[in-house]
Amino acid sequence: MRLDKYLADILNLSRTDAKKIIKQKKVSVNEEISTNTNLIIDEINDIIKVDNIKMEYKKYIYLMLNKPRGYLSATFDKSDHTVIELIPNNFKMKDLSIVGRLDKDTEGLLLLSNDGSFIHNLTSPKKHISKKYYVEYSGTLKENACELVKEGINIDNEYTTLPGLLEPINNNSAYITIYEGKFHQVKKMFEYLNTKVTYLKRVKIGNLELSNLKMGETKELTNEELEKLKG
């Protein structure tokens, strides 16, 4: 990787500004000052310092976002706000992709990464990764709602959901765990059960639970949290 690109990525700078600090002799490579903006470096093994502060390069990043209502699970949209707008600037240079989308009016656990293999493993239909939601609804569930979810529900005569788990909390709220991510799947399942979703929040993906993040807040996943997902 070129030195100026490395600094632009890690410090969230424009390529022009990265070149400026190199020319100002603020950057050292393996303890030697370098003014060569085109210098090819090994971003993993070389020691890069700016103003004598060692830089730590991460090829891949893994983020958790507590998504609020009103934001599209997209990287760009001409008319609506997107979740990328909520991501701290130092991560926006990493070509992030969204790992499993949430509807505009759905809140909760959303993952973002630039690791293609990681994203594939969590989103591939063949993997059947569980997703748990907290649901509030109007109406009264069918008496055999839990059994119907466990057996799988036919949606719009197009597909039958994989066996899931419905855990009623009270007369208007429940947890539901599904193993796919079809368009409006949870809402359609509750419609089939004679109710209408009024609030929806994803609280868990696989073994990873939504941590104590404020609405709209982002954090990097710890190694322990990554292991929970990969496990």
Active site residues: 103
Percentages (nearest 5) of helix, strand, coil residues in the chain: 25, 30, 40
At 114, is the secondary structure helix, strand, or coil? coil
Give the 3-state secondary structure of residue 176: strand
- What φ, ψ does residue 68 adopt, rounded to 5°? -90, 165
Main-chain dihedrals φ then ψ at residue 224, nearest 5 degrees:
-65, -40
Half-sphere exposure of 119 (CA within 13 A, CB side): 18
Give CA 14 to chain center in angstroms.
Answer: 25
The full length of the chain comes to: 231
Q: Is 116 helix (H, G, I), strand (E, B) or coil?
A: helix
Whose structure tokens read 């599904």? 178
CA 205 to chain centre: 10
H helices present in 12-66, as ranges: 15-23
Q: What is the DSSP letter of 164?
A: -
* Cβ neighbours of 162 (radius 10 Å): 13
